[in-house]
């Protein structure tokens, strides 16, 4: 929505706040503390590992767990190197601290996204585990009076000369050991792995670490957090993008029992109440006159028409091979299609929320399920006046006054990674407006979630190919899209990856390639949506490839094999998926797509039934994924299953449209996520690899759309250029 | 008025139109019942009322006088226990937010039909949305729970 004039930390503040974390990785073994909390003494051995006197080993997650499995995956890496017993492993979200927990893939700022968690942590957490292991080994050697090389470490115990001690018993002594130099650390050979690459095994209780609490309803999500005396806040925001509050009549709202305050903030009008129901009734009772003088007035159809006008001219160059666009003129046949992709809503199941407890002039504590906790922290500092003087003499956030506790999140898909810290901004503005009289529990309803922007950007790809002598001789992909990065702290001024990834790195060996992009301004706010640019670039590339291949008289899979000869990892994924898919059953149609995203390689084969009335059902999807070394194969499978379901949901039926500047859809009844009856059987096959591990949260999403469209194309001959596909082929 | 929640009698003195969901979550601190859509479209707030699945987000607490309400925190029927065991064995969960509702729906389905066909599983579970799309594992876990029940 309604873009608001809220504070967003500038690039300068962010960079200033990033300490040494950006330079490389440190395991932070200077962080050695022992703290007695009740009967248990907790000892940290570095920034990532904490050993309890109860013999638990807790790994600090610098990434948030929102379903993608990092609480298990990251913990597994440490468990392996420290030689733990799986039953002693625990996880905890780390505090907000860029210096200790910055993500190198985010320039050293804390952040979960881009499927980088395992990829960016692999070497660091191996080192953290190995370092802690050596400290424990030396502590045991001292205690037993033996040489360190004689100490055997196995399943959380140290043994030598008939003596043994658990890690829990050794932890305090281990913390007194000088940590070994990172360069001196040695790592387990893959052949000796106990946990890495091992499958779920219920009999051994080896599985996801977050399963038990989620099954028993003990998992701690932000929306479940309610400090004593908290007031629930709902915000009325402008129905139209770019609209502002004109005047407010809050008399009826204030008359609702339980409503305590109505305050205006830059984002809209907030109603505070002692419980949700009162806050909702209060918000419903507000009479607001909106000032729409600067608001968007167009509908999505008009926006698309505007985007298409731009496509007549070249955009910013993103890739040129051979003669580029000039290669699209010449001998043979030229085919072209405009691919239209709608705005998409992330719609995580847990509605957006956060809790802030503000003590004016003293401190603030934030509980949230945020993908960017330090960005939230800095934003809250500025809004609430916790500002100090930075090294450059300019105001800087005093982060010592604002703590962030990261809670589990009920899904995100990118929605909780907001450079403008939207949730914390609203909560902090409300807390400030009521001078911290009570903790503020900010809640968004599903309607707020669907209607308030931060969508996958709507976009149009104009795809062009020149076919000659049975070959694709030239390929053109021109996009008009809003940039996700524009105006954020990640804005570099150049065409950014979020708009062109997956288009500009097309791997097919085609002699002439031209990829260019028009970055469009539009007041509808946009954000990364699970697999970001690949959500549309993969569809346009992979579906249009089948259209072109068929026009050239070639089998699309065979032509892919030929043109991917220099890309062995894409080729291997493609071949594995096709092989495992086997023979197509009678009465079904099949489509195939392969795509490289987030450093992983995924091919998907979709078997589809098209009924006599034109309706269709995706029955089975065979997926092959190469994500380097696999930390946890079952989580790889679950992410592929989920990614396929999430991507299929979008291409079948999701679209957020705009009429006269305001969203049309409201809730799950008109923005319909995939349901069980639409979910295909998914088989996942993993390409064996010794390459470093790469992401799995997003790469399962991109190929499903084009695989399904290619299956439909195979029977109907149609190009499926307008999304969503809807009910009929 | 009196409501029976997880076998315990509770005195409800709130507003007539206040949905059960908020009474459970805010007053009783039974936060296992989740808010998802507020319009009975997703099933995250599913509870059992006299054994049948019901949407707590649109059901006024005051309409349930004398009824037996079961939330995830009190799901200790044979079907409920089998469902939780199966969900654990198959590592069904991803984000987990919808799973209380899924498990209650599954327990109700299995209580009524201890040996459901694949189609009956899909029909019985189709009104519960999982945005992480764990549907394949949910199908498997319902079948596994049926096996566990014997």
- Do residues A466 and A501 share a domain? yes
Q: Which residues from chain A sit within 8 angstroms of residue B95, using beta carbons?
A: 66-67, 348-350, 408-412
On the question of pLDDT at A2 being above 70, the answer is: no
CB A223 within 8 A of CB A351: yes
Cα distance between residue A705 and residue A721, in whole Å: 11
Return the sign of the alpha-carbon dihedral for residues A559, A563, A565, A568.
Answer: negative
What does the pLDDT read at residue A162? 94
A673·B22 Cβ contact <8 A: no
- Do residues A38 and A95 share a domain? yes
Residue of B nearest to A353 (CA): B35
Buried b (16+ CB within 10 A) or exposed e, A106-124: bbbbbbbbbbbbbbbbbbb
Confidence bin at B122 (pLDDT 50/70/90):
very high
Question: What's the mean pLDDT in A258-286?
Answer: 98
The tokens describing A651, both together, are 């291409």
- Do residues A401 and A511 share a domain? no
Residue A276: name the closest of A232, A237, A235 by CA.
A232
Cα distance between residue A649 and residue A653, in whole Å: 6
What does the pLDDT read at residue A609? 98
Cα distance between residue A414 and residue A9, in whole Å: 19
CA dist A540 → A385, A632, A648, A702, B128 (Å): 47, 31, 15, 10, 32
Residue A6 inside a domain? The answer is no
Q: CA angle, corner A389, sides to A385 and A390, nearest 5?
A: 120
- Do residues A405 and A493 share a domain? no
Domain with A195, as residue range(s), is 11-212
B136·A641 Cβ contact <8 A: yes
Q: How many CA atoms lie within 13 A of A541 on its CB side?
A: 27
Residue A5 inside a domain? The answer is no
Cα distance between residue A382 and residue A388, in whole Å: 10
A67·B96 Cβ contact <8 A: yes
Cα distance between residue A364 and residue A463, in whole Å: 51
- Do residues A255 and A379 share a domain? yes
Q: Which domains does chain B have, with CATH numbers?
A: 2-74 (3.10.20.30), 78-149 (1.10.150.120)
B93·A351 Cβ contact <8 A: no
A214·B93 Cβ contact <8 A: yes
What does the pLDDT read at residue A30? 55
Interface test with A, best of B97, B117, B134, B141 (most A CBs within 10 A): B97
Cα distance between residue A287 and residue A456, in whole Å: 31
Say which residues have a Cβ less than 8 Å from residue A668's Cβ, sequence separation at least 6. Answer: A347, A446, B36, B37, B39, B41, B42, B129
Q: How many CA atoms lie within 13 A of A232 on its CB side?
A: 24
| Domain count for chain A | 3
Q: What distance in Å separates residue A515's CA from the closest CA in chain B?
A: 33
What does the pLDDT read at residue A17? 34
- Do residues A237 and A185 share a domain? no
Picking from A215, A224, A350, the nearest residue to B88 by CB comes out as A215
- Do residues A498 and A620 share a domain? yes
Cα distance between residue A658 and residue A682, in whole Å: 34
- Do residues A366 and A253 share a domain? yes
Cα distance between residue A242 and residue A457, in whole Å: 17
A217·B73 Cβ contact <8 A: yes
Q: Which residues from chain A sit within 8 angstroms of residue B131, using beta carbons?
A: 347-349, 411, 413, 646, 673
B129·A221 Cβ contact <8 A: no
Choose the weakest-confidence range: A26-30, A312-316, A657-661.
A26-30
Using CA atoms of A657, A310, A418, A100 in order, give the dihedral in degrees to the nearest 10: 150
Q: How many A-B residue pairs are in contact by the CB < 8 A criterion? A: 161
Question: What's the mean pLDDT in A61-68?
Answer: 96
Picking from B19, B91, B122, the nearest residue to A677 by CB comes out as B122
What does the pLDDT read at residue B46? 98
B96·A679 Cβ contact <8 A: no
Q: What distance in Å separates residue A284's CA from the closest CA in chain B?
A: 14
Q: Which residues from chain A sit within 8 angstroms of residue B93, using beta carbons?
A: 67, 208, 210-211, 214-215
Residue A205: name the closest of B20, B80, B65, B91 by CA.
B91
Burial of A506 from C-beta contacts in 10 A (0-12 / 13-18 / 19+): buried
CB A409 within 8 A of CB A341: no
Residue A444: name the closest of A344, A346, A300, A298 by CA.
A346
Residue A406: name the closest of A393, A395, A419, A417 by CA.
A417
CB A130 within 8 A of CB A185: yes
Q: Find residue A487's DSSP bridge partners.
A: none
What does the pLDDT read at residue A24? 37
Mean pLDDT of chain B: 97
Q: Find residue A397's DSSP bridge partners.
A: A387
Residue A604 inside a domain? The answer is yes
HEC string of A204-228? Answer: HCECCCCHHHHHCCCCCEHHHCCCC
- Do residues A191 and A333 share a domain? no
Picking from B44, B93, B133, the nearest residue to A641 by CB comes out as B133
What does the pLDDT read at residue A25? 44
Rg (CA), chain A: 27
Q: Which residues from chain B sit within 8 angstroms of residue A68, using beta carbons?
A: 94
State pLDDT tens for residues A360-400: 999 999 999 999 999 999 999 999 999 999 999 999 999 99
Q: Which residues from chain A sit within 8 angstroms of residue B138, using beta carbons?
A: 676
Q: Which residues from chain A sit within 8 angstroms of residue B132, using beta carbons?
A: 67, 349, 411, 642, 645-646
Q: What DSSP character marks residue B39?
A: S
State pLDDT tens for residues A11-43: 333 333 333 222 334 455 456 677 776 788 999
B97·A348 Cβ contact <8 A: yes
Residue A544 inside a domain? The answer is yes
Mean pLDDT of chain A: 94
Picking from A69, A350, A675, the nearest residue to B126 by CB comes out as A675
Residue that finishes a domain, picked among A180, A212, A244: A212
Residue A682, SS3 per DSSP: strand
State pLDDT tens for residues B29-55: 999 999 999 999 999 999 999 999 999
CA dist A407 → A353, A371, B16 (Å): 11, 10, 33
Say which residues have a Cβ less than 8 Å from residue A135's Cβ, sequence separation at least 6. Answer: A29, A45, A174, A175, A177, A179, A180
Cα distance between residue A53 and residue A51, in whole Å: 7
Does residue B13 sit at the A interface (CB-CB below 8 Å)? Answer: no
Q: What DSSP character marks residue B26?
A: I
Q: What distance in Å separates residue A506's CA from the closest CA in chain B?
A: 28
Picking from B19, B94, B137, the nearest residue to A277 by CB comes out as B19
The tokens describing B32, both together, are 């296992």
CA A206 to chain centre: 26
Residue A609, SS3 per DSSP: strand
Question: What's the mean pLDDT in A446-475?
Answer: 98
HEC string of A110-174? Answer: CCCCCCCHHHHHHHHHHHHHHHHHHHHHHHHHHHHCCCHHHCEEECCEEEECCEEEEHHHHHHHH
On the question of pLDDT at A1 being above 70, the answer is: no
Residue that finishes a domain, picked among A390, A422, A443: A443
Residue A72: name the closest of A57, A82, A83, A61 by CA.
A61
List the beta strands (DSSP E) in B17-109: 46-49, 52-55, 68-70
Q: Which residues from chain A sit within 8 angstroms of residue B137, using beta carbons?
A: 638, 641
- Do residues A475 and A581 share a domain? yes
Cα distance between residue A96 and residue A93, in whole Å: 9
The tokens describing A398, both together, are 């005093």
CB A466 within 8 A of CB A327: yes
Residue A61: name the closest of A52, A48, A51, A50 by CA.
A48
The tokens describing A305, both together, are 């028409």
Residue of A nearest to B87 (CA): A215
Q: Which residues from chain B sit within 8 angstroms of residue A447, using beta carbons?
A: 38
Residue A648 inside a domain? The answer is yes
Q: Which residues from chain A sit within 8 angstroms of residue B18, using beta carbons?
A: 277
- Other C-beta atoms closer than 10 Å to the C-beta of A227 total 13
Residue of B nearest to A648 (CA): B133
Q: Considering only residues 39 to 78 of chain B, which have any Cβ-Cβ distance to chain A shorter than 8 Å?
A: 39, 41-42, 44, 71-73
CA A646 to chain centre: 13
Q: Find residue A90's DSSP bridge partners.
A: A58
* Residue A395, domain CATH: 3.30.365.10
On the question of pLDDT at A693 being above 60, the answer is: yes
Cα distance between residue A80 and residue A601, in whole Å: 26
Does residue B24 sit at the A interface (CB-CB below 8 Å)? Answer: no
Residue A296: name the closest of A339, A240, A245, A342 by CA.
A240
Return the sign of the alpha-carbon dihedral for residues A440, A445, A448, A453.
Answer: positive
- Other C-beta atoms closer than 10 Å to the C-beta of A262 total 22
Residue A274 inside a domain? The answer is yes
Question: What's the mean pLDDT in A404-413?
Answer: 98
- Do residues A200 and A134 share a domain? yes
Residue A219 inside a domain? The answer is no
Buried b (16+ CB within 10 A) or exposed e, A197-217: bbebeeeeebbbbbbbebbbb
What does the pLDDT read at residue A486? 83
Cα distance between residue A64 and residue A375, in whole Å: 14
- Do residues A259 and A127 share a domain? no
DSSP A176-189: TSPPPPGGG-----
Q: What distance in Å separates residue B42's CA from the closest CA in chain A?
A: 7
Confidence bin at A485 (pLDDT 50/70/90):
confident
Residue that finishes a domain, picked among A443, A462, A478: A443
| Number of helical H runs and strand E runs in chain B | 5, 5
Say which residues have a Cβ less than 8 Å from residue A310's Cβ, sequence separation at least 6. Answer: A480, A518, A520
Question: pTM for the whole thing?
Answer: 0.95
A668·B129 Cβ contact <8 A: yes
State pLDDT tens for residues B2-13: 999 999 999 999
Does residue B38 sit at the A interface (CB-CB below 8 Å)? Answer: yes
Confidence bin at A351 (pLDDT 50/70/90):
very high
Residue A727 inside a domain? The answer is no
Kindly report whether the peptide bond that precedes residue A724 is cis, defined as omega within 30 degrees of 0. Answer: yes
């Amino acid at each position: 929505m309604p873009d608001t004039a809220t504070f967003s930390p500038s690039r300068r503040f962010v960079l200033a706040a990033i300490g040494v974390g950006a330079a490389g990785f440190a395991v932070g073994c200077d962080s050695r503390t022992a703290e007695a909390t009740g009967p248990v003494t907790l000892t940290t051995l570095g920034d990532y590992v904490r050993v309890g006197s109860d013999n638990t080993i807790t790994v600090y997650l610098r990434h948030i767990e929102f379903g993608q499995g990092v609480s298990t995956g990251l913990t597994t890496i440490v468990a392996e190197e420290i030689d733990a017993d799986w039953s002693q492993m625990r996880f905890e979200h780390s505090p907000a601290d860029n210096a200790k927990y910055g993500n190198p893939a985010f320039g050293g700022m804390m952040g979960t996204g881009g499927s980088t968690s395992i990829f960016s942590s692999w070497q660091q957490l191996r080192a953290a585990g190995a370092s802690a292991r050596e400290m424990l080994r030396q502590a045991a050697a001292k205690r037993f009076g033996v040489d360190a090389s004689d100490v055997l470490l196995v399943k959380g115990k140290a043994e030598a000369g008939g003596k043994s001690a658990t890690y829990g018993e050794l932890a305090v002594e281990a913390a007194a050991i000088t940590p070994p130099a990172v360069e001196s650390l040695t790592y387990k050979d893959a052949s000796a792995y106990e946990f890495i690459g091992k499958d779920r095994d219920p009999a051994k209780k080896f599985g996801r670490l977050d399963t038990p609490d989620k099954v028993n309803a003990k998992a701690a999500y932000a929306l479940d957090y309610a400090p004593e005396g908290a007031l629930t806040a709902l915000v009325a925001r402008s129905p139209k993008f770019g609209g502002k509050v004109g005047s407010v009549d809050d008399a009826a709202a204030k008359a609702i029992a339980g409503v305590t305050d109505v305050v205006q903030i830059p984002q809209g009008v907030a109603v505070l109440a002692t419980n949700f129901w009162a806050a909702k009734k209060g918000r419903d009772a507000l009479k607001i006159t909106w000032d729409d003088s600067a608001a968007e007035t167009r509908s999505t159809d008009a926006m698309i028409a505007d985007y298409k006008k731009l496509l007549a001219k070249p955009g910013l160059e993103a890739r040129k091979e051979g003669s580029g666009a000039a290669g699209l003129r010449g001998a043979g046949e030229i085919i072209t299609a405009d691919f239209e992709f709608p705005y998409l809503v992330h719609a995580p199941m847990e509605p957006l929320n956060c809790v802030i407890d503000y003590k004016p002039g003293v401190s603030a504590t934030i509980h949230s399920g945020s993908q960017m906790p330090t960005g939230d922290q800095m934003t809250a500092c500025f809004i609430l006046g916790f500002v100090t003087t930075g090294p450059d003499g300019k105001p800087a956030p005093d982060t010592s006054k604002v703590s962030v506790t990261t809670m589990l999140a009920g899904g995100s898909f990118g929605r909780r990674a907001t450079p403008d810290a939207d949730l914390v901004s609203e909560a902090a503005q409300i807390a400030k407006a009521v001078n911290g009289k009570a903790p503020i529990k900010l809640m968004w309803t599903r309607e707020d979630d669907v209607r308030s922007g931060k969508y996958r950007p709507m976009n149009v790809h104009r795809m062009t190919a020149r076919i000659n002598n049975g070959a694709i001789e030239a390929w053109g992909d021109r996009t008009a899209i809003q940039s996700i990065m524009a105006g954020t702290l990640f804005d570099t001024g150049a065409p950014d990856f979020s708009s062109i990834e997956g288009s500009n790195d097309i791997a097919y060996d085609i002699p002439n390639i031209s990829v260019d992009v028009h970055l469009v301004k539009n007041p509808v706010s946009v954000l990364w949506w699970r697999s970001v640019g690949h959500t549309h670039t993969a569809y346009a590339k992979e579906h249009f490839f089948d259209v072109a291949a068929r026009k050239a008289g070639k089998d699309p899979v065979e032509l892919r094999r030929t043109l991917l000869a220099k890309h062995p990892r894409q080729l291997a994924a493609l071949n594995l998926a096709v092989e495992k898919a086997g023979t197509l059953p009678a009465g079904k149609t099949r489509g195939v797509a392969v795509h490289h995203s987030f450093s992983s390689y995924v091919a998907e084969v979709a078997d589809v039934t098209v009924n006599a009335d034109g309706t269709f059902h995706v029955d089975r999807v065979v997926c092959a994924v190469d994500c380097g070394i696999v930390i946890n194969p079952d989580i790889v499978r679950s992410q592929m299953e989920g990614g396929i379901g999430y991507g299929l949901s979008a291409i079948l039926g999701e679209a957020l449209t705009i009429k006269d500047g305001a969203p049309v859809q409201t809730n799950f009844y008109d923005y319909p996520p995939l349901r069980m009856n639409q979910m295909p059987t998914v088989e996942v096959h993993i390409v064996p690899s010794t390459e470093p591990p790469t992401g799995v949260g997003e790469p399962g999403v991109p190929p499903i759309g084009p695989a399904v469209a290619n299956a439909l194309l195979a029977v109907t001959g149609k190009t499926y250029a307008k999304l969503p596909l809807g009910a009929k082929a | 008025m009196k409501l029976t929640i997880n076998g315990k009698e509770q005195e409800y003195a709130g507003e007539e139109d206040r949905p059960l969901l908020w009474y459970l979550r805010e007053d009783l601190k039974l936060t296992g019942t989740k808010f998802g859509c507020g319009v009975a479209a997703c099933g995250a707030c599913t509870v059992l009322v006299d054994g049948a699945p019901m949407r707590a987000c649109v059901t006024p607490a005051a309409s349930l006088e004398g009824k037996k309400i079961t939330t995830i925190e009190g799901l200790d029927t044979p079907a409920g226990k089998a469902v939780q065991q199966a969900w654990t064995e198959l590592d069904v969960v991803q984000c987990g937010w919808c799973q209380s509702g899924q498990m209650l729906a599954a327990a109700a389905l299995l209580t009524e039909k201890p040996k459901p066909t694949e189609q009956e599983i899909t029909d019985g579970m189709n009104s519960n949305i999982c945005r992480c799309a764990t549907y394949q594992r949910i199908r498997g876990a319902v079948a596994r729970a049926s096996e566990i029940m014997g």
